């Protein structure tokens, strides 16, 4: 069977998300945080985490639960803002208990932050719409994250977050950077081993 195009998957998963109630989004986001913390218990060496923050109108995973959990563990947190002139992501170091405002796209942005190099980042949470069993992902089509990830050290862990199970197959493009893991409310999928673990 022919694999769906990225455009078809974007449309399909936008509709699937739209069908989720806000209560369901929060419930599943908390479950994803729980799964992540279970996974993190086996990785005490990780201290520097790069987070994306959710656009509510797209029913994205609420990563503020993960932020709060990591802050309680005294981890160092980063996020990004878009440099429109360079069409690139700039890395921001987050202060604890940061206050946020919504930018023109509805993305939560910290009111106070320090622009830094991403060299200390050990793990990046990657937004997505769909993914497959090899870690290929479909994003929003802007290419910001693939460009950002391609400039990081190859050892940086890339974790997608999704409310849904994987697609059977996504055809990658030359510039795509695959995920190492994807966390859903039910499972942590590991792509380096091409297997799922509970």
Average pLDDT over residues 97-114: 86
pLDDT for the residue numbered 125:
98
**Of 103 and 50, more confident:** 50
pLDDT for the residue numbered 82:
79
Structure confidence by residue, pLDDT tens digits, 125-171: 999 999 999 999 999 877 789 889 999 998 999 999 999 999 999 99
- 72 has pLDDT over 90: yes
- 175 has pLDDT over 50: yes
Instruction: Pick out the residues of the known binding site for ATP.
Output: 6-10, 137-145
Instruction: Pick out the residues of the known binding site for substrate.
Output: 60
pLDDT for the residue numbered 196:
41
Average pLDDT over residues 109-133: 94
Q: Is 78 exposed, middle or buried (0-12, 13-18, 19+ CB in 10 A)?
A: buried
pLDDT for the residue numbered 87:
64
- Please tell me the least confidently modeled range out of 11-15, 103-107, 152-156, 184-188: 103-107
Radius of gyration of the chain (CA): 16
- 89 has pLDDT over 90: no
- 19 has pLDDT over 80: yes
- 197 has pLDDT over 60: no
Find out whether 94 and 77 touch, Cβ atoms under 8 Å.
yes
Find out whether 188 and 197 touch, Cβ atoms under 8 Å.
yes
- Please tell me the least confidently modeled range out of 9-13, 32-36, 184-188, 189-193: 189-193
Instruction: Pick out the residues of the known binding site.
Output: 6-10, 60, 137-145
Percentage of residues in the chain having pLDDT higher than 70: 94
All domains in the chain, ordered by first residue: 6-197 (3.40.50.10420)
DSSP element (H, E) containing 22: helix 22-40
Instruction: State which of 10-19, 134-143, 187-196 shows the largest mean pLDDT.
Output: 10-19
């Amino acid at each position: 069977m022919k694999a769906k195009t990225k455009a078809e998957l974007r449309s399909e998963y936008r509709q699937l998300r739209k069908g989720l109630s806000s209560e369901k989004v929060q419930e599943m986001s908390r479950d994803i945080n729980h799964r992540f913390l279970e996974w993190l218990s086996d990785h005490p060496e990780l201290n520097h985490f790069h987070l994306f923050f959710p656009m509510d109108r797209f029913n994205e995973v609420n990563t503020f639960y993960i932020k709060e959990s990591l802050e309680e563990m005294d981890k160092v947190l980063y996020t990004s803002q878009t440099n429109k002139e360079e069409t690139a992501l700039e890395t921001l170091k987050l202060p604890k208990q940061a206050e946020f405002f919504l930018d023109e796209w509805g993305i939560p942005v910290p009111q106070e932050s320090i622009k830094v190099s991403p060299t200390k980042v050990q793990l990046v949470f990657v937004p997505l719409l769909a993914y497959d069993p090899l870690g290929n992902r479909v994003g929003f089509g802007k290419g910001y994250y693939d460009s950002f990830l391609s400039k990081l050290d190859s050892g940086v862990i890339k974790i997608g977050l999704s409310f849904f199970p994987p697609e059977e197959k996504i055809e990658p493009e030359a510039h795509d950077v695959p995920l190492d893991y994807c966390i859903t409310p039910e499972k942590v999928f590991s792509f380096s081993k091409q297997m799922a673990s509970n």
